[in-house]
């Protein structure tokens, strides 16, 4: 099995505290905007939380497919072996940088988020038109818009996605990353954003960041020179 498909969901899981800080407010607002009859029934609330996140992960997979296609083009245009080595090296370095960012030791990494601001300005009004979300279909669509919210960690994963060398590989890589973030985002939705208090604690963030750095170092050391 490609180790990247194991690393992607683990990075997503270790990104939990960043995810709460970045999206916790959105998730909490979405939860409170639901009718009381939905919020009072855990099964229905869970269904909406799953629908939001399904749309978000689908957007990640679509972006991953586009970057995977770029990787396939790079592989086809040159020496496949050398291209694979370079792309995986980039993926390893980006993963290490992500870990340092999660830990709070590389704040400038957040500048990546500026890359997506023009696209987000275009899509965000479409998201507002879907509010209030009162059906599961609208929840999926809103989640699909939400998936394009500028996020340095998502962009970092996308930079690494071409190393999967195919559209399907890139889509799977990003979908697995999204699935890694799912437990904490579901929990945040079910608890109406109350998990955001965790984000102010430095020790958990640093431990999570060091975990991601370790994954990046593993990828880097496993490269065949």
Q: Nearest Cα to 60, choosing from 184, 127, 158?
A: 158
Task: Print pLDDT tens along the chain (225 aa).
Answer: 577 898 899 988 888 777 776 666 677 777 777 888 888 888 998 999 999 999 999 999 999 999 999 988 887 776 667 777 887 788 888 889 888 988 889 888 878 878 888 999 999 999 889 988 889 999 999 999 999 998 888 988 898 899 888 999 999 999 999 999 998 888 776 765 455 555 556 777 788 888 889 888 887 777 544
CA–CA separation, 134 and 144 (whole Å): 16
Residue 212, both tokens: 């991601």
CA–CA separation, 185 and 26 (whole Å): 11
| Residue 134: predicted pLDDT | 86
| Residue 29: predicted pLDDT | 75
Helix, strand, coil percent content, the chain, rounded in steps of 5: 85, 0, 15
| Residue 198: predicted pLDDT | 52
CB of 102 closer than 8 Å to CB of 14: yes
DSSP-assigned states of every residue in 174-188 = HHHHHHHHHHHHHHH
Q: Nearest Cα to 160, choosing from 215, 81, 102?
A: 215
| Residue 94: predicted pLDDT | 85
For the purposes of burial, counting CB atoms within 10 Å of the CB of 117, is it exposed (0-12), middle (13-18) or buried (19 or more)?
Answer: exposed
CB atoms closer than 10 angstroms to residue 66: 15
| Residue 223: predicted pLDDT | 59
CA–CA separation, 169 and 185 (whole Å): 24
- Specify the residue for token string 């996605």: 161
At a CB cut-off of 8 Å and minimum separation 6, what does 2 contact?
Answer: 164, 169
Domain limits, the chain:
4-221
CA–CA separation, 87 and 68 (whole Å): 11
Q: Give the Å distances, CA to CA, from 43 to 82, 136, 137, 138, 190.
A: 50, 13, 16, 18, 10
CA–CA separation, 136 and 199 (whole Å): 29
């Amino acid at each position: 099995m490609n180790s990247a498909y194991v690393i992607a969901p683990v990075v997503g899981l270790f990104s939990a505290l960043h995810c709460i800080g970045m999206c916790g407010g959105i998730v909490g607002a979405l939860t409170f905007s639901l009718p009381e009859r939905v919020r009072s029934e855990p099964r229905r609330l869970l269904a909406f939380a799953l629908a939001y996140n399904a749309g978000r992960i689908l957007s990640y997979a679509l972006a991953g497919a586009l970057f995977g296609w770029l990787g396939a083009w790079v592989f086809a245009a040159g020496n496949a072996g050398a291209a694979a080595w370079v792309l995986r090296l980039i993926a390893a370095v980006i993963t290490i940088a992500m870990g340092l960012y999660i830990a709070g030791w590389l704040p400038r990494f957040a500048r990546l988020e500026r890359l997506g601001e023009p696209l987000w300005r275009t899509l965000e009004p479409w998201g507002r038109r879907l509010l209030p979300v009162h059906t599961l279909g609208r929840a999926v669509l809103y989640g699909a818009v939400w998936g394009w919210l500028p996020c340095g960690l998502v962009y970092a994963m996308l930079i690494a996605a071409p190393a999967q060398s195919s559209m399907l590989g890139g889509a799977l890589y990003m979908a697995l990353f999204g699935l890694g973030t799912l437990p904490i985002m579901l929990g945040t939705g079910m608890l109406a954003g109350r998990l955001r208090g965790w984000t102010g604690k430095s020790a958990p963030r640093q431990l999570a960041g060091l975990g991601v750095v370790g994954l990046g170092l593993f990828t880097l050391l496993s490269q065949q020179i």
